[in-house]
Amino acid sequence: MSPVPFVALAALLVLYPRWRRLRRAARRQHLLREQFPDAVDLLVILIRAGLTPLQACEVLAERAPSAWLQPFEAVERARQGGLRFVDALDELTTHAGPVGQGILDALSASERYGQPLTSSLDRLSAEGRSTRRRLADIHARKLPVRLSFPLVCCTLPAFVLLTIAPLLAGALHTLTTRGSTP
């Protein structure tokens, strides 16, 4: 017996968990990018309502969009663990990846250097909305390709069976009946 199936099975068993982990991480990053404008808008609302960035992050640790709950909870845990708020903000990029870098930069610049926070957050929100719009456009452009599979695999064979097959059967029947009579 050939060892190829065993090698293929072993490779599949080794590579599948890694592929699944990578797929899960990509899905999480996509969800973070998609919900980024909502998180920034909520942060802007909280800041404009009079909360400090520290208080706003405390509220976001409880009420942020679903994908952003974990990064803001990590910031809150690190802050309660004894880190200064500015240092605890590094947890955003640890848990949200490069998507959280913009919020980290805006909040840390505001805390460290006193830069106005709402203008940079408004810019971040606008960029996030345009990114979300661009991602939705990319997804919409992929839709016809995905819909072609059911068309080719279901509708086209049904069309062939219901229209062309009876015509061919009738033509073959006519050829066989005409050919058998002298």
Query: Domain spans of the chain?
Result: 4-143
Write the pLDDT tens digit of every residue in 29-86: 999 999 999 999 999 999 999 999 999 999 999 999 999 999 999 999 999 999 999 9
Is the pLDDT higher at 9 or at 70?
70
* Torsion-angle region of 59 (φ positive above 0: left; ψ -120 to 50: alpha; else: beta): alpha
CA distances from 3 to 11, 15, 26, 52 (A): 12, 18, 34, 65
Q: What angle do CA 18, 19, 25 make, to 5 degrees?
A: 90
Nearest to 57 by CA among 1, 117, 143, 115: 117
Q: What is the pLDDT confidence band of residue 14, given thresholds at 50, 70 and 90?
A: confident
CATH code matching the domain that covers 4-143, chosen among 1.10.1760, 1.25.40, 1.20.81, 1.10.287 = 1.20.81
Give yes or no for a contact between 92 and 102, defined as CB atoms under 8 angstroms apart.
Answer: no
Q: Is pLDDT at 153 greater than 70 in this prediction? A: yes
Report helix, strand or coil for 24. helix
Q: What is the mean pLDDT of residues 134-154?
A: 88
Count CB neighbours of 61 within 10 A. 19
pTM: 0.73
3-state secondary structure of 139: helix
Task: Note whether 33 and 130 are within 8 A (CB).
Answer: no
* Mean pLDDT, rounded, for 108-130: 89
d(CA 139, CA 142): 5
One-letter amino acid at 10 equals A
